[in-house]
Amino acid sequence: MTAPAGLSTTEERGGLTEAAGVVVLGGCAVWSLIAATGRDARPEGVLLAVLALTGGYACGRICGSLVPVAAACAAAIAALGLAVAARPGGGIPGATAVPAPGHTGAIAALLALASGAACCAAWAARASSLRLALRLLALLIAVTALLLGSLAGFAAALGVLLCSLAAARTRRRTAALAGLVLATALVAAGSWAVAEDALPGGLTASLEGQLSVNRVLLWQDAIGLAKEYPGRGAGPDRFGELSPTAQRTRDADGKPHSALLQQASEQGIPGVALLGGAYGWVLYGLWRSPRDTPTALTAAAALTALAALACIGNALSFTPVTAGAGLLAGLATARRPGPGEVDAAVPGPSARLPHSRHR
């Protein structure tokens, strides 16, 4: 029997998203191996990040189809718990960076993802009282960020909550997603400009005060390596041994504390393109998501906050962060069978088409 038009359209969208994901994530894995060929490089970190993102995404798609509210709520509580456990003196499971500055970015990223998951759970809930409770959980996450001393985490978590509330009035997601892409591009361009010392002196000095002089020097070393090895980069996980600043820094973790600049220095221009492609693939999936627009935009806001933090910090060096990003993306793109779709799958006069989604 021929599938209903609405159902086949949903399946086609999911197929295109998954095919794009295979190409982009597969390219990330393969290129890290190519960049490491013939060098004393270690691509294991990139491969682990790709595996964590893929596994989280698959888990999110499955759980989001079966128990969307419970799965998103559990993800929010788990991310919050990891952030609290990683307070000064604690540690994050799967961490590749030991110093506190590395953990600071990871804590902020986990809080942003936790807020996004709580807000997505609120949109999936049908009872108004449960929705209110879940939004209060998102607010509690932002307050917890203040108690942990993470101003970046507070700003990210509160920003995600406000974006989620504003998404209730947004019918078409295209313009909103374009705005999030622009915001990420501005942060990325700003970090690159700081590394190139291309900003006015007063602005550069102000940003150095916020970022620390040591981090700016690490970024400048990364830019130098990117210019020296524009094709394949210096090789995965070789920044620490090639950066003079990292060698002089006590307890250095061997990272430039910027995913963008790390890709540029270690994997060259193709590595930067693939990193941008991974972010683009996630937003593409949310654009085509069968979920309602507020859910898609909430997840997009949380992942954009993560992308911004990754441009100026070391968040993506932590496996729980990459796995959490994949999980949130999977939850927000999962196909949730509704009563209309169940009826449509069974021949009979009661068959109906699924509700259309505004783009």
pLDDT in tens, the chain (359 residues): 333 344 445 555 557 888 888 999 999 999 999 999 988 889 999 999 999 999 999 999 999 999 999 999 999 999 999 999 886 545 555 554 444 445 678 899 999 999 999 999 999 999 999 999 999 999 999 999 999 888 999 999 999 999 999 999 887 899 999 999 999 999 999 999 998 888 777 777 777 777 888 888 999 999 999 999 999 999 999 998 898 988 887 767 788 999 999 999 999 999 999 999 999 999 999 999 999 999 999 999 999 999 999 999 889 989 999 999 999 999 999 986 555 443 333 333 333 334 444 44
Query: Alpha helices, DSSP H only, in the chain?
Result: 5-36, 44-66, 68-85, 100-124, 128-147, 151-166, 173-196, 201-211, 213-228, 239-242, 244-248, 259-287, 293-312, 319-333, 339-345
Residue whose token pair is 């030991």: 98
Neighbours of 355 (CB within 10 A): 11
Cα distance between residue 139 and residue 32, in whole Å:
39
Closest to 331 (Cα-Cα) out of 290, 276, 271, 277: 290
Phi first, then psi: give them for residue 322, nearest 5 degrees.
Answer: -65, -40
Is-contact 7 356, C-beta < 8 A?
no
The pTM for the full model equals 0.86
Closest to 329 (Cα-Cα) out of 307, 311, 312, 308: 307
Spell 64-73 as b/e; 16+ CB within 10 A means b.
beeebbebbb
Amino acid identity of 47? L
CA distances from 234 to 90, 173, 246 (A): 32, 39, 15
Angle, CA of 5, 342 and 351, to the nearest 5°: 60
pLDDT of residue 2: 38
Query: How far separated are the first and last CA of the chain, in Å rounded?
Result: 29
Is-contact 46 28, C-beta < 8 A?
yes
pLDDT of residue 15: 76
pLDDT of residue 82: 93
CA distances from 64 to 117, 150, 225, 235, 317 (A): 11, 30, 42, 37, 26
SS (H, E, C) 135-172: HHHHHHHHHHHHHCCCHHHHHHHHHHHHHHHHHHHCCC
pLDDT of residue 103: 66
Domain ranges of the chain: 12-335
